[in-house]
Structure 1
């Protein structure tokens, strides 16, 4: 079981992003999510975290895979990634500061731009794939050297990942 969840909440061609107030990736734009509590399912966690950080109640987030990462001498870590659609009325009072950071709607093209160094570095690698619901959920693996992303690969979900994904549907 992975420790974290992350959601990308879409409205038209924009995503709800948070500019993180604290580490990891302090100052970087990212999706909304957090740490699983004991006994909590990934879906329940992402619903809770989105509510706590944004005030938006997700009804049925869509599981899109996992993002895993490791550094030179670190064990593999990871998070379950979800997407969701939210009506315009849910995101009308943005940007807005919260205890976790600044919430704002950002154009998908801005987030994916190779010239954009304001997002968490892994996002440009996996975001386009997870937004395409025709693609099967996968393991988007990232290798770091310190804070520098040095290698990425898309892997089929392992048997345990497939089992966990089946529980999420």
Structure 2
């Protein structure tokens, strides 16, 4: 079983999220998502989120809010992802080799090519309570979603 721990950050400004249009040839190629990646050895999820946001955007986040733990399940793969939001930052926006950065109005995000499960947790980001969500995939097809308060 392949177990992976990752972070994902949605940077928000003017009712828009900063998304990356993935160009790296991996399982998320040509999909839109927040910025993030793997948690490195000895790194806390918060440290990983700050590092990944800087590496992928050139921005230093001044606030970082933990929102949820998301678990992705597929046949031989489980990913535990720490989901954050940020609204304050300094620096100059710079794309990376991961993909192109674009500010997208929140109300049109679900029209973009993205992982189906991402829409489920994006809809809960405005809630004040921490939550946990399990997304079950067969290939790229989302087959089951369960969520509740983070315990």
TM-score (norm 2): 0.88
1:74 corresponds in structure 2 to 76
**2:14 aligns to what?**
12
The count of residues paired between Structure 1 and Structure 2 equals 148
SS of the aligned residue for 1:128 comes to helix
**Helix, strand or coil at the partner of 1:57:** strand
Where does structure 2 lack aligned partners over 5 or more consecutive residues? none
List 4+ stretches of structure 1 deviating above 3 A: none
Higher strand share: 2
Distance 1:86 1:108, change over 3 A: same
1:13-60 per-position Cα deviation (integer Å, ceiling 9, x unaligned): 100000111212110000000111111000010000000110110123
Report what 2:53 is aligned to.
50
- Structure-2 residue corresponding to 1:118: 113
Question: 1:26 is matched with which residue: 29, 33, 53?
Answer: 29
Higher helix share: 1
Shift of the 19–57 alpha-carbon distance from structure 1 to 2, 3 Å rule, reads same
Task: Answer whether contact 1:13 1:107 (CA < 8 A) is retained.
Answer: yes
Query: Do the aligned partners of 1:83 and 1:131 also contact (CA within 8 Å) in 2?
Result: no
Correspondence 1:130 to 2:133: no
Whether 1:100 aligns to 2:103 is no
Distance 1:153 1:57 in 2: 33
Distance 1:38 1:155, change over 3 A: same
Which of 139, 152, 157 is residue 145 of structure 2 equivalent to?
152
Give the CA RMSD over aligned residues. 2.0
- CA drift at 1:2: 5.8
Tell me if the contact between 1:2 and 1:80 (Cα under 8 Å) persists in the aligned partners.
Answer: no
Residue 165 of structure 1 corresponds to: none
1:139 paired residue among 114, 127, 132: 132
CA distance in 1, matches of 2:109, 2:132: 20
